[in-house]
Amino acid sequence: MEDDLAAFKAPRLEALRDHPEAVGTDFEESNRDPESAWIERIRTAIEGEAGRIFLADAGHDGLAGMLGVYRSRGVKNRHAANIWGVYIRPQFRGERLCEKLMHEAIAWCAQKQLRIVRLSATTSAAAIRCYARCGFRVYGVSPEEIRIGETYYDELMMWRRVSPS
């Protein structure tokens, strides 16, 4: 598990640093997290029943991308999951990796017999087109969801049915 730490941590921090408007987590806060917190995230994603992290391996170049999904825990909303942390490193964009990762996440949701999956994306995010190709539809806007300095970013709230039934 500790061996996977650097491979996971590098692109996650890269996403937070290079695209702060696209994620709700702050780079500086995450960078200060102890290694034990990062290892626990990896452990939960590998061994946990409530979520997974899907990775696109780039061989000797580390990871090409990642995507996380977690299941809602409450009795009344256990039928739903949320996608988080979607990131494809710049040199691997255009290879449909996001769609492949999304396919795996949706398959995981289907295996867990979930009904819907949601995600949010800043309105400036180029990934919105990818999400639409993966069957996600906009159901609302969360205004000024992310603040960086004095600039605010709205987020599109998107969802899709996991399976036709």
Q: What is the pLDDT of residues 20-57, one digit of tens each?
A: 888 888 888 888 889 888 888 888 777 778 899 898 88
Number of domains forming the structure of the chain = 1
Give the CATH number, domain containing residue 138.
3.40.630.30
Measured at the alpha carbon of residue 101, what is the angle toward residues 5 and 65, in degrees to the nearest 5?
Answer: 40
- Exposed, middle or buried by CB within 10 Å (0-12, 13-18, 19+), for 155? buried
Rounded to two decimals, what is the model's pTM? Answer: 0.86
Strands across the sheet containing 151-161: 51-57, 63-71, 80-88, 116-122, 151-161, 137-148
Owning domain of residue 77? 2-161
Q: How many of the other CB atoms lie within 10 Å of CB of 110?
A: 13
Which whole number is the average pLDDT over 79-100? 92
Q: Which two tokens stand for residue 152?
A: 């605010």
| pLDDT tens for each residue of 97-115 | 999 999 999 999 999 999 9
For residue 124, give the nearest of 151, 98, 103, 97 by alpha carbon: 151
